[in-house]
Structure 1
Amino acid sequence: MEQHEQQRHASSFGSAAVAYAEHRPDYAPAALAWALEGSPGPRVLDLGAGTGKLTAGLVAAGAQVTAVEPDPEMLAELRRTLPGVRALAGSAEEIPLPDGSVDAVLAGNALHWFDLDTAGPEIARVLAPGGVLAGLWNTLDDGVDWVAALAAAGGDAVIGPRDTPARWRAATATAHLPKHGGPARFGEAARSGFPHGQLRTAETLVATLATRAGVLVLPPAEREALLARLRDCLAAHPATAEGEFTLPMVTCVLRTRRS
């Protein structure tokens, strides 16, 4: 994606902050535990925290969390839903924290938006020696037939480069982690995936997918046509036509360590 398009997609979420907070899933607890494995302490920065989906899971796991988010509308939702969390305006490229002040930096569905040439040294700066950097992504398990059909109906607007396990593995084979961090260095990346699920109805699943950047940037008429196709697809499958069902996901994690 070209830089202009990358910025347009990255800045699209604020307009849907309330819907994002309501409909986006949390992250598999086992994925959080694996992401934090080996962290030298409990101080965790949720970087690009959005409305606090990852933040809430970290708080529940007992971490001492600071959330940093650049979009004012997303940050306002985070502060509204998690008033006890320290939540700061800032970005991955300009982190408003002192040197060595956190033991882990985690990013939920956000690491691919960072300019890692600038953010890499910043992340290394705020991490304590031996600290962990991890990105987490909730991907759709398209090994399930109705999910695969939904992905086909949604196309690239709904299923981006990291939105299924196979796509995520390909996209993160050589990307998303800093190659350097100034005087510090990051080690080899480790990867893992953890089964997850979100209870949805057809309408709430469509509302969830409507908060994806590829959908948010569409012209209104195209967006409504796409959402109608998704509703039709869900109505055509017995597993999703009526009532509640579980959306099968895999929380994929990419983890490295500051040397």
Structure 2
Amino acid sequence: MPDRWIVTPRFFEQPEPALIGLAPADAAINSVEITHRSPPELAILHGGIAQFVYDTLVEGDRPVSVAGDCCAALPVLAGMQRAGIAPDLVWIDAHGDFNTPETSPSQFLGGMPLAIATGRGPLWMGIRIGLETIPDERVLLVGARDIDPGEAEALEASRVTRIALEELAEIEFDGPVMVHFDADVIDPADCPAFAYPAPGGPPLAAVTAALADLAARAELRAISVSGWSGGLDRDRHTARGVARAVAALTG
């Protein structure tokens, strides 16, 4: 099916214009500007993504969303649900994103979206865009290696399946899939321009091969991408690496 792209060139309230270069020239630009990470403003920002995903799916195309933070994956899931699709969720990320205000040392909202998707943490973000909780059993967390202690305990107590990237090839899917790909899963030795780099990850070549294999095997109905930090990518080395990975994922 054809892909339709939307780019939200922001890291929450901070502009990240470099992300626009990852998408085709005809990509939609989610141009909403916000000044605070508050419920009303994030709802406006995310509402545009959810509507785009819904519209794209009902027209028979596949939505690809590019943004600067992982919370933007939530409206992609909400848009799928609005279109009547209940996907398995493959969350590929160097971090667990499974913190809640009770477990997070930093209280960083960007460390909580997977917890929110499964009905934990600050649920206001999902409620305002019509997000329905996804069962733990339908979630696959891939490649996470930088996990806070309380977050690790929460994951252990959950029914979320955690695997290494190389194990992804062994997973079989029998229905629609949403993939969220946070490019910081790539080892920073290959792609260093991330706000929260996590050493010890798979090299770019391994990530690209795994994503290409997933794209060939699974029914990927929607794709969410969390990109790099443009201000740190002075030689565009990371941008080129992420573009290779995303090209493999989109086929």
Which TM-score applies when normalising by structure 2? 0.39
State the structure with more CA Rg.
1
